[in-house]
Structure 1
């Protein structure tokens, strides 16, 4: 535990080689909400510290179906989302390709094709069902983070050649920091 006043607590982010990231997370139940509410601020601090825009619970070793995002364009703004038990219930036929990265695949990026628009059903922190329609970056980020809850990484959406090149770089970097 961090004892410094006003110093954010930072969780370790699991790297792509960790088998935990390949496990399917379980649904958040009503009995989990109190613990989830406690960990959310720590996850936001962790995500901001790593300069990310999204962080799924499995990335910090929590096997529950929830993630956070902040897509604010300005550093001094916040556009925070907390999504529990996401379920993509509609997606557009139109797809687009964009560069993606991931805090669990540090400093590696690749073009990924995803549906441009989605409709999402999820639970909020009060345990209530919500729905939102999303497009562009919001839709892409939701899809990326939802993948984490199913044990899928963005590199699973690219060719095996590119995926293997990226994973070799990740493994090489991990060896350097041991």
Structure 2
């Protein structure tokens, strides 16, 4: 991101990949070049996330198979967390496991009760290559785990089991975006 800029104001909104897109189901590659193309990608991720009214977005959700995600997400105390992580690794997910509603910009209009830990720690780098550690609790921990899953080629639908999974698959089959593909 450019110095002093508000995230997303210089980026362009890109199309969001939907559930059946292969890039969503393939683990992403590590970023090796921390140059201007990466900075533009992060700006585009923010612009796309804001346009879609999301709280997080992974690079493969716009068709780019690189390990990068952005977030602008509150925790359960309504504290805003804003940032990005390049080459993130979920190094801790612990605490209480909570089942809560989870949605995804790649499954528009749907959500399902998904189990996640209420505490998460992600390590990675900034767009300029500086090491970063991000700590999340509550809803923000859910967001961090969700975005890390994307970069491993998984969606929240892969975590839903039993009747909830069957119901979600029926809902996916009935969506207009699925029928249009």
TM-score, L = length of structure 2: 0.83
Q: Does 1:139 align with 2:141?
A: yes
**Aligned residue number for residue 3 of structure 1:** none
Q: 1:105 corresponds to which residue?
A: 107
Q: Which residues in structure 2 correspond to 1:6-155 (within 5 Å)? A: 9-29=12-32, 31-71=33-73, 79-155=81-157
**In angstroms, what is the RMSD of aligned CA positions?**
2.4
How big is the shift at 1:100?
0.4
How far did 1:115 drift? Answer: 1.2
3-state SS of paired residue (1:44):
helix
Residues 8 and 93 of structure 1: CA distance in aligned 2, closer, same or farther (over 3 Å): closer
Alpha-carbon distance between aligned partners in 2 of 1:8 and 1:127, rounded to the nearest angstrom: 20
Deviation at 1:127, TM superposition (A): 0.5
- The size of the alignment, in residue pairs, is 169
Instruction: Decide whether aligned partners of structure 1 residues 130 and 163 sit closer, same or farther in structure 2, where only a CA change above 3 A counts.
Output: same
Q: 2:14, 2:62 within 8 Å by CA — same for their partners in 1?
A: yes
Deviates more, 1:16-25 or 1:155-164: 155-164
Structure 1: state its 5+ residue gaps. Answer: 1-5
Deviation string for 1:93-132 (max 9, x for gaps)?
4211211000001111111111111222111111021223
* Greater displacement, 11-20 / 130-139: 130-139
CA distance, structure 2, for counterparts of residue 33 and residue 57 of structure 1:
16
Structure 2 distance, partners of 1:120, 1:85, is: 10
Alignment of 1:155-174 (within 5 A): 155-172=157-174, 173-174=176-177
Work out the CA distance in 2 between the residues paired with 1:156 and 1:50: 22
- Report the TM-score when normalising by structure 1: 0.84
After superposing the two structures, state which structure 1 stretch, 59-68 or 168-177, moved more: 168-177
What are the ranges of 5 or more consecutive residues in structure 2 without an aligned counterpart? 1-8
Structure 2 CA distance for partners of 1:151 and 1:90, relative to 1, 3 Å = same
Give the match's secondary structure for 1:107.
coil
